[in-house]
Amino acid sequence: MKDIIEKTISMANDLKIDQCDVILSESQSLNLSSQEGKIETYKVNSSRLIGVRVIHGQKVGISYSEDLSDSSLKTMVQSALKSSSFAEVDEYQAITHEKATIIDENPKTFRDDHTEIQTKIDLAIQLDNEVKRQEPRTSAVPYNGYSESSNHRHYGNHLGLYSYERDKTFSCYTSSLIKDGDKQALFYDGMSGRTFAELNPQEVIKNAIYKTRILLDASPIPTGNYDLIFETETLESLLGCFLGQFSGKSVKDGYSSFKDSIDQKIAHPEFSLRDLPHYEEGFICAHSDSEGFIKKDLHLIEKGELRTFYHNSATARYFGVANTGHASRGAKGHLSTSLTQLFIDAGSSNNSQLLSGKTLHVFALEGLHAGVNPSSGDFSLAASGQIYENGEATQGVKGITISGNFFALLKNIEAIGSTVHTTSNRSFFAPSIRFGGIKVAGI
């Protein structure tokens, strides 16, 4: 694929374009789903997509193609140049990373796996059958299956830089819809691995059934203020709604409430948030960003104080600060910023301190888009979970709404646990965190 990138850049040079870079992505995937002990869906997909960004006269244009023939590449470059002529001048966007070859074939992110397809089919069917066997009240298994994907990312620019990375992931998932009289409940669970052998279908089945049973007998709780602990998956989902507040692009565009908060206290003094793109225990570890710059481990919040924003080369140039290597751009899109895999550091609280008294543990959130205002930090979300009394589960909870403000939430931390957990897709790492006095609307 390197030769296709070089050919595209050569076409841009022939048109006397000032600067250009190219992203070429390849992906392959397999998706299996089963119902009633039979394979319902069997999909094998592959795709290749190339995209070019040109900067000419300080104006940016982009174009892309799924066809890698010479004629299509030429049309793509011409289209990008034409679109740049209609753009406004962008004095901060420039392609400056000089000649280098960066090839990262990390064996931890891409492992050879020769598992037979029949074994994968058997797994998808096993998930369906085992849920019904272990929980006879299961009337249906709406979400159930196996998937795998591999991705290859190539980048090159007019200065001679070329980079290549790849990753491969295996996943399985299942659910249980339980009906008991006039009651019914549904929950979904899944997990990912770097090889097929890393998957543990029994754990996925157990978790799906366990949570469904809780929801089946759950009920609303009285309206009031409660100390909340979000399970790792739900904490990632809630935090993800507000991560743009830490983006240099959001600050530049005037959307971040943290614009003037560098080195100021914005969270509990024990709260530290890092982006660790090279953390190999995570499944989204990456060596370089979408401009070819080496990604850097980044301390966003350190002991409660905001240390930096995450930047691409353009936002770093705008603010006159160092580029953090957080450029994000797909083959079809414009330059932006993104984080890789987040890590909240462990705290000092043991389980007795973390779980003393009454706590509400939230394992499901709904309305994460409609119920969240990223700019103001306000949120109002339907939630489900369990009430704990001194660490013992006493009641399943559903039919409630939790509301508050994200910026206040960071400061209203009562305790941070000493053990770090991860999500099912291994992209987010955090200890249990007890947030104090969250408003809950129930009965």
Quote the mean pLDDT of the chain. Answer: 94
In sign, the C-alpha dihedral spanning 88, 92, 97, 98 is positive
Nearest CA to 53 out of 320, 286, 333 is that of: 333
Provide DSSP, 115-184.
--HHHHHHHHHHHHHHHHHH-TTEEE--S-EEEEEEEEEEEEETTSEEEEEEEEEEEEEEEEEEEETTEE
CA distance 440 to 154: 48
Instruction: Give CATH 3.30.2290.10 domain extents, the chain.
Output: 2-214
CA distances from 237 to 116, 268, 372 (A): 35, 20, 11
Task: List, for residues 363-381, the tens digit of each pLDDT value.
Answer: 999 988 889 999 899 999 9
CA distance from start to end of the chain: 60
pTM of the shown model: 0.91
Give the pLDDT of residue 176.
96
Nearest CA to 217 out of 16, 393, 73 is that of: 393
Q: What are phi and psi of 244, to 5 degrees?
A: -60, -20
- The Cα angle at residue 164 between residues 152 and 279, in degrees rounded to 5: 85
* CATH code given to domain 2-214: 3.30.2290.10
Going by pLDDT thresholds of 50, 70 and 90, the confidence category of residue 190 is very high
Task: List, for residues 393-410, the tens digit of each pLDDT value.
Answer: 999 999 999 999 999 999
Residue 328, pLDDT > 80, answer yes
Nearest CA to 153 out of 9, 294, 289 is that of: 289
Region 149-163: mean pLDDT is 94
SS3 48: strand
Region 279-298: mean pLDDT is 88
CA distance 385 to 399: 10
CA distance 443 to 439: 13
